[in-house]
Amino acid sequence: MGALDIVLLPCLTDNYCVILHEPETGETAAIDAPSAAAIKAALAERGWRLNHLYITHHHTDHTGGIEELKAFYGMPVTGPEAEADRIPGLTQGVTAKSELSFAGHPIQVLETPGHTLGHITYYFPNDGIVFTGDTLFSLGCGKIFEGDPRMMWESLSKIAALPGETNIYCGHEYTLNNARFALTIEPENEALKVRAAEVEALRASGKPTLPTTIGLEMATNPFLRPQSRPIQARLGMLGAPDWEVFSRIRQLKNKA
């Protein structure tokens, strides 16, 4: 299989749907369904039909388009088995044990609870792409609505363990807001300063800040850097466990 064509489609206020197209087979998939109208228009423009939909978690801004897309394309809908009762239109519930592939491209399911209890992340190892939904954002992470900080930290750690060159697509364009907050947590981080300036410029010209990479996030995202001495020192938490430092950063962001 060759490289997938990838379309990053802004939906609603700040959501993203990602459309994947395998040029050899003509198959098309989407990750999350914030808006059926936006997805149908993007597909029609390219002459593509949706063959598969992958859902990260049950929130309406990721699932609201499922029923209309299903009525139109009749495609199967994969999502977290743990949230099967909360995702209308789901046809296949999956866990970390599930073996999935799209158009010959293997997909690994990572269980990444915390934002919601069933949240999953889709990793395409052969393509070097990961879809992190509302678990990991560029320079940020999702709010912990259903889980606890330790659980969320473990979920983020699973994603952080992927190869550094892996491209990350997230569920929202929150990077500019996240960058401004990140600079208050680690103002001396040179890589963060460079990324923040880049993000300011991209957003000023209306461009997406995604994809990012695991390597870039490891160097700049304060939520993945609780082991940073300058961060620990600033928070008065030198030597504290990673998940506790992470938890404090999450609390500060909630109040920011």
**Distance (Å, rounded) from C-alpha 131 to C-alpha 39?**
17
- Residue 14 is a catalytic residue: no
Residue type, 49: R
Residue nearer to Zn ion on the CB measure, 4 or 17: 17
27 counts as binding Zn ion under rule CB under 5 A: no
Q: Which does 65 bind (CB under 5 to 8 A by kind): Fe ion, Zn ion, none?
A: none
- Residue 59 is a catalytic residue: yes
**Distance (Å, rounded) from C-alpha 4 to C-alpha 180?**
33
- Residue 115 is a catalytic residue: yes
Q: Which of 21, 52, 105, 172 is catalytic?
A: 172
Helix%, strand%, coil% for the chain, nearest 5: 40, 20, 40
Helix (H/G/I), strand (E/B), else coil: 180: helix
Residue nearer to Fe ion on the CB measure, 52 or 172: 172
119 counts as binding Zn ion under rule CB under 5 A: no
Residue 238 to residues 24, 51, 67, 121, 242, Cα–Cα distance (Å): 53, 50, 50, 31, 10
Q: Which of 59, 105, 119, 127 is catalytic?
A: 59
Helix (H/G/I), strand (E/B), else coil: 38: helix
- Tracing tokens 């040179």 back to the chain, one arrives at 190
22 counts as binding Zn ion under rule CB under 5 A: no
- Residue 5 is a catalytic residue: no
58 counts as binding Zn ion under rule CB under 5 A: no
70 counts as binding Zn ion under rule CB under 5 A: no
Q: Which of 61, 105, 119, 127 is catalytic?
A: 61
Residue nearer to Fe ion on the CB measure, 73 or 137: 137
Q: Which does 34 bind (CB under 5 to 8 A by kind): Zn ion, Fe ion, none?
A: none
Contact set with Fe ion (CB under 5 A): 61, 134, 171
Q: Which of 21, 58, 62, 105 is catalytic?
A: 62
Shortest CB 36 distance to Zn ion, Å: 18
The continuous run of DSSP H or E covering 198 comes out as helix 190-204
Residue nearer to Zn ion on the CB measure, 43 or 170: 170
For the sheet with 15-21, list strands across it.
Answer: 5-11, 15-21, 28-31, 52-54, 77-80, 92-94
Q: Report the residue from 27, 83, 111, 134 that binds Zn ion according to the rule CB under 5 A.
A: 134
Q: Which of 52, 105, 115, 119 is catalytic?
A: 115
The two structure tokens encoding residue 199? 């993000």
Strands (E) located in the chain: 5-11, 15-21, 28-31, 52-54, 77-80, 92-94, 100-102, 105-111, 120-124, 129-131, 136-137, 140-141, 167-169, 212-213
Residue nearer to Zn ion on the CB measure, 27 or 134: 134
Shortest CB 32 distance to Fe ion, Å: 8
Binding site for Zn ion (CB under 5 A): 59, 134
Residues labelled as active-site residues: 57, 59, 61-62, 115, 134, 172
